[in-house]
Amino acid sequence: MRRIFIADAHLKHPDDPCYQQLLKFLQSLQGNLDELFIMGDLLDFWIGYPKNAFPHYQPVLDQLARLVAGGTRIVYFEGNHDFHMGPIFTRQLRAEVHPGPAVISLDGKRAYLCHGDQINEKDYGARMLRAVLHSFITKAAMSFVPPAISNRIAVFLGGKSKRKYPENERKWDRRAILREFAARRFAEGCDLVVAGHFHDPFTETDEQGRVLVSLGDWLSRFSYGEWENGGIALKEYR
């Protein structure tokens, strides 16, 4: 069974190079993919209205629909930019949506899958923001918020996140945080940890053969994970 894992494309506009590159990649998977795991922040801002309130995402939604029509199953792990995915994903795309981390079986191996924004327990600001955005109150409130207001919120949050990124790069040892987190999941019996969010593509295997994968991003690296023959490899699409 062929599985692909992608995260952190932060798609904004169909004319952007990373958007075009991702569309080409998804097109290349047509008819040759069993499961697509989207590990959060595919979209720079999404909250699920009954109809698509963000027309700039229609090209990627159409391509995902073509994959589904061809037999691909989509599994979506919500990030800190895309949440409350709504009927377009749950009904039209028939995606299996996870609001948070999950442990699933992949060819008999216990895999801990997550977006990753909850991994750094000391990043209180990010954890609080996630709690607010993913809350039932936010979901209920969006029924009364026009899409134009949502887009303004998206621009504000996106700008804030971009400004804080260099500071967080200096403040946190991201790989050390991921390694410590993965070690705890391995101690709980997991064989594999796959995370997005950190925008740093790397993979490590411990002495017992347990694997940590940080997926990187589609902003510049175009990195993704591919599962074949019972194992996962980190690759780049060029």
Q: What is the DSSP string of 14-47?
A: TTSHHHHHHHHHHHHTTTS-SEEEE-S-SBSSEE
The neighbouring-strand residues paired with 226 are 4, 233
CA distances from 200 to 14, 67, 174, 195 (A): 24, 27, 8, 10
**Neighbour tally for 214: CB within 10 Å:** 27
Segments making up each domain of the chain, as ranges: 3-236
pLDDT tens-digit profile, the chain (238 residues): 899 999 999 999 999 999 999 999 999 999 999 999 999 999 999 998 888 989 999 999 999 999 999 999 999 999 999 999 999 999 999 999 999 999 999 999 999 999 999 999 888 877 888 888 888 888 887 778 887 787 777 777 666 666 665 666 666 799 999 999 999 999 999 999 999 999 999 999 999 999 999 999 999 899 999 998 899 999 999 8
Q: What is the pTM of this model?
A: 0.92
Cα angle 222, 153, 85 (rounded to 5 degrees) comes to: 60
Q: Please answer whether residues 36 and 67 qualify as being in contact, where contact means their C-beta atoms are separated by less than 8 angstroms.
A: yes
So what's the pLDDT on residue 164? 62
The dihedral region occupied by 182, where left means phi > 0, alpha psi between -120 and 50, and beta the remainder, is alpha
> How many CB atoms sit inside 10 A of residue 84's CB?
20
Which H/E stretch holds residue 214? strand 211-214
Residue 156 is given by DSSP the state H
Residue pair 73/96 in contact (Cβ under 8 Å)? The answer is yes
Q: How many Cα atoms occupy the beta-carbon half-sphere of 23 within 13 Å?
A: 17
Residue 120: C-alpha distances to residues 124, 155, 177, 225 (Å):
8, 24, 7, 22
Token pair for residue 147?
């899409």
pLDDT at 177: 97
SS3 at position 125: helix
List the structure tokens of 216: 């990187």
CATH of domain 3-236: 3.60.21.50
Q: What is the pLDDT of residue 218?
A: 94
The helix/strand/coil state of 146 is coil
Report d(CA 39, CA 63) in Å as an integer: 17
